[in-house]
Chain A
Amino acid sequence: MQKIGVFVCWCGSNIAATVDVEAVAEAVKNEPGVVFSANYQYMCSAAGQKLIQDAIHEHHLTGIVVCSCSPRMHEATFRKTAESAGLNPYMVEIANIREQCSWIHKDKEEATAKAIVLAKAAISKLRNDTPLQAGTSAVTKRCLVIGGGIAGIQTALDVADAGYEVDIVEQRPTIGGRMAQLDKTFPTLDCAACILTPKMVEASQNEKINIISYAKVEKVSGFVGSFKATIRKKARFVDETKCTGCSLCTTKCPSRKGKNEFNMNLDNRGAIYIPFAQAIPNVAVIDPEQCIKLKTGKCGLCEKVCSAGAINYKQEDELIEREYGAIVVATGFKPIDPSPLNEFGYADNADVVTSLEFERLMNAAGPTKGTLLRPSDGKHPKTIVFIQCVGSRCEENTKRGKPYCSKICCMYTAKHAMLVREKYPDTDVHVFYIDVRTPGKNFDEFYRRAAEQYGVDYIKGMVGKVAKEGDKLMVQGSDLINNEQVHIAADMVVLATAIEPDPTARSIGTMLTASMDTNDFFTEAHPKLRPVESPTAGIFLSGVAQGPKDIPETVAQAGAAASKVIGLLAKDHLVTNPCVAQSNELMCNGCSQCEKVCPYGAITYVEKEVRGPGVREVRRVAQVNPAVCQGCGACTVTCPSGAMDLKGFSNKQILAEVDAICRW
């Protein structure tokens, strides 16, 4: 018979205000097996833990039940407490009487009754607990970073700096991401390329960093410390080891219909191209959709002009399989398509552009070589209207946009407005805004400089219509401060479009079993205390993949993610969860159902001699690899013969809990 101690926590007033904790401790005192029960204000505090340890010693307890918060919060704490008092840590059960009881009930009597039942269920389970031993698993000392923007680059550099190997997998032909497309950065107005490209070069020259560009992660299996990834490196039809990046081929290519993605499709590029001058790797790539040779078999001009002999029309996709200890998600963002927001006339008017398009129009390496010319007729715009919050902060459940604030738009709009006034002082600049949000170091000063020194006309209110009239765009909006309608004849309208996660994020999240919110941003393990870790062990978050943020925040988060990765990779072994499935070979009928439902590939079938009472034969039976099993329990509910069971959560234990609850 076990000797069980029950410890009821007040959690200050969190539990005690709604649950009569003394009554709970009193009610379970005479449950079978219980030899001690107590209540205390903060069981997780040093004094509370001491109370538990003392009771273990004094009453020779074989197991404890702590009635407190969710096991996600403090199960590990109390396991450690028990272990240091000489108890097996898996002889600890938590009855969640906070999240599942006191926080959701108002009536004290009802809540107390429920807390008693939850405590009794935990006691019943504990009566069936057996000590479990945790094993260990090795840590592969290599990190996978998905996404090669500033977030991914920074994480990779920091992890590599600590001496670990890093692979950056980037879907585009070059690393650099969104930041490479920017002209200047707020609030210092230094040029984005000037601060980004040295980092790109640093990453490419770092011998610990391996850049796998024009590639995607296709499959991931395994678990923390021991992931296995399959990476598809798409055929670029150019031999990376031979190409010198001279770009002669790109100037000779007769195909000119491919949209230049780097310039937000504002101009065209050849079928063979290098995305931009500072691309890393500085290697050409052939767009098979546009290449005349690949489509018709004729042409081959690039091959003729390439003195390095790097062109290879027969190149095929390459599959790379590699093991990693940690995976960092740095998949970034894209601006939304504002076309469905019809009032802004984006789809109908070439001179209504998004901010990222505007960024390219202002950039010296952009389609207009840095001279601000409007797309429709190449004229200098004399009046520009900026509209903030396009597709951000929308009512939920409408399809008009995102419910969240995209965070960066106020600042980049102030930047655009200021740059225009600086470069073209004869240009009138108006900004429509709902609020101007500038909480960042030197941010508000920056915005005020735009409004006060650069004469940017800030109008509080939203725009209801952008309509073409002759060669002007008539912008109709409301001025909420003067309480009037304003009509501005503009030459160009710039939409500060909301940002959303990169479209690949959802499938990557599914592949990694990393949870995401309804907007497809990755969720963190704790919104305040564990902001760079996914709830899935071994998966870390870097940059906008987790939520909208600007460059300094992205870099800070990338460094934080790197430090978590380094902390993991610095360990040689990880303690594994002993709550894994095991198969009773005597009962297994070899049906393979469990193998099919196992999401981790932990179950295999073997031919084995089975010996039991009256049984001695060779059978096909299931075997669980405890290093791979994550203890999800899918196999135990699938098994038709009841041969599969989960340690720590056995059918017997769970039925004992259900039984206790049903006696209520």
Chain B
Amino acid sequence: MVNRVVVGAHYGLRDWLIQRVTAVVMAVYSAALAGWLLFQPYVGYDVWTGLFSSQWMRICTLLFLLGLFWHAWIGVRDVVMDYVKPAGVRLAIHVLVILALAFYSIWSVQILWGM
């Protein structure tokens, strides 16, 4: 195989945009949750379970977590692109990260709807 510098994988803009959008989703969720907590006179087990028993809260939390995992995927891939040069090793790390994030996503659903 010739050793050329190859560029032109046309996903730069898409991933950059996704990272921005997921950042906004996470910021809105975090601010809303922090604001809600600030106005609670007492926060205990019953308040937490009460909050997460609402279907809307579960959906929003899942949205936040999926946003976090997608955001993390792009961030981790960017780091790996800078520091891991052999294509085979890089692909293996990418697959492992994707598998871990897919596992976390399924686990998140189980946690949120198992409460």
Report whether chain A binds chain B: no
A interface list, Cβ under 8 A from B: none
